[in-house]
Chain A
Amino acid sequence: MIEIGRVCIKTAGRDAGLRCVIVDVLDGKFVLIDGETRRRKCNILHLETLKDVIKIKKNASHDEVKKELEKSGVRARETKPKQKTERLKKRRKTPGELRTQKEEKKKLRDLFKRKKEDEVGKGKVEEKKGESLEEKAGLVEEEKKQKSEKENKKPKKKSAKSDKK
């Protein structure tokens, strides 16, 4: 039953329940499989053989297996090779580069500082003026009232005392 081109169903592992074809017989225990499953070495005990046999060569490539399987209506597994993305290696900055970086940062900092100071200063001055004027106006009146009251009280007391005496 175990021969090259025999269609099987895998019964163990993450590919269990998927169809595959025996591509190579490695020894009495292991075979090489391909198809819906990953192309891998597999124990014979983990395969359930079917009636179908496909005509393929020994060690046939994945594309050949795919073509043959599609005739019987089985879609082989499509694996995309990983695209290699070049990673930029981190390198140390030279002292000159660091110096220029610092200078740029300083320039930016100074710019922002000046702007903030200008904005804050203008706003504060205006607000202060308004507040101070109102407060002054209110305070002046209050002070006047208080003064007048004190002046009124003082002579009364004095007068009362003088009367008693």
Chain B
Amino acid sequence: MSEPYKRSRTLRRLQSKVPGGRTVLHYKERKPSKAKCGNCGSMLKGVPRERNLKMHKLPKTKKRPERPYGGNLCSRCMRSLIVEKARLQ
């Protein structure tokens, strides 16, 4: 019987071919869910879907789009928000 952590599905499974020709199961931690817009809930573009360790290694400019509300709102919601603010003035 394999170890409990291998029996549960908390880890994702990767089938990789080793140099010897066998296919081996590798257990890896699952990626976090995709980043979503805070307003409409659509998937955000330009936000990598990686675990914390890899995100630490990335530069700040590669973690989110470089505009106001980048990484929190999608571009459409951001634009409508700014237009609303402008029209109030």
Residues of A whose CB lies within 8 Å of any CB of B are 9, 11-14, 16-17, 48, 50
Contact of B83 among A11, A13, A14 (CB under 8 A): A11
Q: Are B75 and A12 touching (Cβ within 8 A)?
A: yes
Q: Which of B66, B78, B86 has the largest count of A CB atoms less than 10 A from its CB?
A: B86
Docked CA distance A14–B64 (Å) = 12
Docked CA distance A9–B85 (Å) = 10
Docked CA distance A108–B78 (Å) = 67
Chain A residues whose CB sits within 8 angstroms of the CB of B89 once the complex forms: 50
Docked CA distance A48–B68 (Å) = 16
Is B34 part of the binding interface, using a Cβ–Cβ cutoff of 8 Å?
A: no
A-B CB proximity, top 3 nearest = A48-B86, A9-B86, A11-B79
Main secondary structure of the interface of B (DSSP, over half): helix
Contact with A along B51-89 (1 / 0, CB 8 A): 000000000000000111000000100110011011101
Q: Are A12 and B79 touching (Cβ within 8 A)?
A: yes
Q: How far is the CB of B48 from chain A (nearest CB, A)?
A: 19
Contact of B66 among A9, A12, A14 (CB under 8 A): A14
Docked CA distance A14–B79 (Å) = 12
Q: Are B67 and A48 touching (Cβ within 8 A)?
A: no
Q: Are A11 and B82 touching (Cβ within 8 A)?
A: yes
Docked CA distance A14–B82 (Å) = 13
